[in-house]
C-alpha cells in the first residue's frame, strides 16, 4: 500500500510540473527527504510524514488524491465541527458555510446539517446555491430530516404525547398549543426520512452542525466546537462565558470530550487615524469640535475593544491563532450594494465565491489550514 502511495505522490508532482526542490520546499523538508518519499527502494525509504505531505498539497493548491487523503487522515474518522455561540446574529452560519466551501475547494466531501430559519425560508422559496459555485458542492440537510440516534423518534413521540396532554390542561396549555404543530411536523419528518447521521459520517470527510439551539446534540456529536467570539460585542462575550460554563458542566460527564477552541471575530486595532481621512483623503477640512468628537469616539471604541479582549482572555479556553477581521462584513456590504433584499448575500453564499481574492477569503483559508492541522 505504501509503495502505491509513493507512486501516486510522484505522479502528482510530475504531472503538475513541480520539481523535487519545489515540492520539498512546500512540504518543509530537505530535497533528499522528499526524494525518499517518492522512492520505492527499501534501502532509501523514509516513513511518509502525514504533516509534510499535507503541507505540500495545502501550499501547492493541488487537489489531494483520494488514496493520499485517506493516508493523511487515517487515524481519525469523519470530522464533525460546530461553529457556535448562544448569541445570535454574529456570523455563525456564514462562517460555517465559508469553511465548508473552502473544504470543497480542497477536494473534500462536505455536508452541513442545519436548523437555521433563513435556510428553511430559502428552501421554502425553492432557492438553491449558484450553479458551479463552491457552495453548490456542499450537501445541505435540514436537521428535521436527519435521525441522529436510535432513541430520537421514541423521545419525540413522548414529547408530543406530553404536549397533547398539556393542551387539555391549564398552566402551560397555551405554550403547548403553540409548540405542538412544529414538534408534530418534526416527528413526522424524522419518521419518514431515510437519512441517518451515522451513514452520513461514513460518506463525508467533514460534517458541520449548524444547530446552535440544541446544545446536547452539539455535545454528543461533534469532534471540534468552535466558539465564535465577536470582540466588538460585549453581549457576545457574556454569551461566550455562559457557553463555556455549560460546556464544562455537560461535557465533563462524557468519557470522550469534544475539543473546544475560541475564534475571535470583528478584530480591529482601533488606531487613532481620522475616520474622515479614511474615506475622503487627508486634506478634508473638518471643524475642530467635530474632529475632537471623532477622536473621543475612536478612543472609546479602542478602550472598549481592549476591555473586551481582557474578558475573552478570562474565558480560560484555548484560542485559535487565526482571527477574523471586519473583512467579511466589507465583502457582504459590497456584494449587496444595489441588489434587492431577496437577491442579496444569503445562506447559500460564501466569500470564497463572491470575492475569492479578498482578504476575507484569505482569512478563511488560513483558518481552515489551522483546523486541519488540529485534526492531524
Q: Say which residue the cell 403547548 belongs to.
A: 176
In degrees and rounded to multiples of 5, residue 338 shows phi and psi of: 80, 0
Q: For the whole model, what pTM was predicted?
A: 0.81
Choose between 3 and 169: higher pLDDT: 3
Least confident of 77-86, 165-174, 185-194: 165-174
* pLDDT value of residue 100: 97
* Average pLDDT for 159-169: 75
* pLDDT value of residue 62: 85
* pLDDT value of residue 190: 87
State the pLDDT confidence band at 274, using cuts at 50, 70 and 90: very low
Grid coordinates of 206: 467533514
**Domains in the chain, please, with CATH?**
2-72 (1.10.260.40), 79-90+97-108+213-375 (3.40.50), 152-189 (no CATH)
Grid coordinates of 159: 414529547
* Average pLDDT for 155-176: 72
Strands, E, within the chain: which ranges?
79-84, 110-114, 139-142, 206-210, 224-230, 259-265
Please state, in angstroms and as integers, the Cα–Cα distance from residue 235 to each residue in 51, 65, 214, 239, 285, following that order: 39, 44, 20, 6, 37
Choose between 288 and 279: higher pLDDT: 288
Note the pLDDT tens digit of each residue in 202-228.
889 899 999 877 777 787 888 899 999
Residues 6 or more apart whose Cβ sits within 8 Å of residue 354: 331, 335, 345
pLDDT at 262 over 70: yes
* pLDDT value of residue 208: 96
253 half-sphere exposure, CB direction, 13 A CA radius: 7
* pLDDT value of residue 270: 47
Note the pLDDT tens digit of each residue in 94-126.
999 999 999 999 888 999 999 999 999 999 999
Amino acid at each position: 500500500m505504501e509503495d502505491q502511495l509513493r507512486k501516486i505522490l510522484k505522479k502528482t508532482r510530475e504531472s503538475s510540473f513541480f520539481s523535487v526542490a519545489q515540492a520539498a520546499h512546500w512540504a518543509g523538508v530537505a530535497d533528499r527527504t522528499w526524494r525518499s518519499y517518492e522512492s520505492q527502494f527499501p534501502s532509501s525509504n523514509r516513513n511518509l510524514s502525514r504533516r509534510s505531505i499535507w503541507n505540500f498539497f495545502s501550499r501547492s493548491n493541488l487537489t489531494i488524491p483520494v488514496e493520499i487523503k485517506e493516508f493523511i487522515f487515517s487515524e481519525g474518522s469523519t470530522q464533525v465541527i460546530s461553529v457556535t455561540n448562544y448569541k445570535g446574529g454574529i456570523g455563525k452560519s456564514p462562517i460555517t458555510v465559508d469553511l465548508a466551501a473552502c473544504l470543497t475547494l480542497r477536494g473534500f466531501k462536505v455536508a452541513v446539517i442545519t436548523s437555521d430559519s433563513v435556510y428553511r425560508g430559502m428552501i421554502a422559496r425553492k432557492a438553491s446555491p449558484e450553479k458551479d459555485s463552491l457552495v453548490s458542492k456542499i450537501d445541505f440537510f435540514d436537521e428535521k430530516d436527519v435521525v441522529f440516534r436510535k432513541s430520537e423518534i421514541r423521545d419525540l413521540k413522548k414529547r408530543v404525547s406530553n404536549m397533547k396532554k398539556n393542551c387539555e390542561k391549564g398552566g402551560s396549555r397555551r405554550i403547548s398549543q403553540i409548540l405542538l404543530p412544529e414538534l408534530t411536523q418534526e416527528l413526522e419528518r424524522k419518521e419518514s426520512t431515510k437519512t441517518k447521521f451515522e451513514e452520513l459520517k461514513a460518506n463525508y470527510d467533514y460534517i458541520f452542525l449548524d444547530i446552535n439551539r440544541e446544545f446536547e446534540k452539539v455535545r454528543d456529536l461533534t469532534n471540534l466546537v468552535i466558539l465564535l467570539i465577536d470582540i466588538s460585542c460585549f453581549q457576545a462575550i457574556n454569551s461566550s462565558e455562559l457557553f463555556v460554563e455549560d460546556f464544562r458542566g455537560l461535557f465533563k460527564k462524557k468519557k470522550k470530550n469534544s475539543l473546544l477552541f475560541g475564534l475571535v471575530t470583528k478584530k480591529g486595532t482601533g488606531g487613532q487615524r481620522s475616520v474622515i481621512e479614511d474615506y475622503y483623503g487627508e486634506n478634508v477640512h473638518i471643524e475642530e469640535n467635530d474632529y475632537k468628537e471623532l477622536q473621543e469616539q475612536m478612543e472609546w471604541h479602542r478602550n472598549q475593544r481592549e476591555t473586551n479582549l481582557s474578558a475573552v482572555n478570562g474565558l480560560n479556553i484555548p484560542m485559535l491563532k487565526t482571527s477574523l477581521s471586519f473583512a467579511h462584513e466589507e465583502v457582504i456590504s459590497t456584494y449587496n450594494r444595489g441588489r434587492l433584499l431577496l437577491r442579496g448575500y444569503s445562506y447559500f453564499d460564501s466569500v470564497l465565491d463572491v470575492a475569492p481574492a479578498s482578504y476575507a477569503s484569505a482569512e478563511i483559508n488560513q483558518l481552515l489550514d489551522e483546523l486541519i492541522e488540529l485534526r492531524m
